[in-house]
A and B are shown apart, each in its own frame.
Chain A
Amino acid sequence: MGILSLISLWFIPILIGFILLYGTFKGVPTYESFVEGGKEGIKIAISIIPFLVGMLVAISVFRASGALDYLMEFIRPALKSIGVPAEIVPLAIIRPISGTAALGMTADLIAAHGPDSFIGRLASVLQGSTDTTFYVLTVYFGAVGIRKMGDALKVGLLADVAGIAAAILVVVYIWY
Chain B
Amino acid sequence: MPMVNYIWVGMTIIGIIFGIANGTMDEVNKAIFKGAADAVTLCIGLISILVFWLGMMKIAEESGLLEKLSSFFRPVVKWLFPEVPVRHPAMGYILSNIIANMFGLGNAATPLGIKAMEQLKELNGGKDYASRSMVTFLAINTSSITLIPTTVIAIRMNYHSASPTEIVVPTLIATIISAICGILIDRYFYYRRSRKG
Closest to B49 in A: A41
Interface of A is mostly: helix
Contact status A155-B155, CB under 8 Å: no
Chain A contacts for B31, CB-based, 8 A? 57, 60-61, 63-65
Contact status A61-B32, CB under 8 Å: yes
Contact status B128-A148, CB under 8 Å: yes
Residue-by-residue, is B60-78 near A (CB-CB < 8 Å gives 1, otherwise 0)?
1111110000000000000
- Between A and B, 27 residue pairs with Cβ closer than 8 Å are A1-B165, A5-B165, A33-B58, A34-B59, A37-B59, A40-B58, A41-B55, A45-B46, A49-B40, A52-B39, A54-B8, A57-B12, A57-B39, A61-B11, A61-B16, A64-B27, A111-B159, A124-B155, A140-B114, A145-B128, A147-B2, A147-B128, A148-B2, A151-B193, A152-B138, A159-B186, A170-B177
Chain A contacts for B135, CB-based, 8 A? 150-152, 155
Interface of B is mostly: helix
Contact status A136-B142, CB under 8 Å: yes
Q: Does A93 reach chain B (CB closer than 8 Å)? A: no
Closest to A26 in B: B63
Closest to B126 in A: A145
Size of A's binding interface in residues, CB under 8 A: 98
Residue-by-residue, is A26-51 near B (CB-CB < 8 Å gives 1, otherwise 0)?
10101001111111111011101100
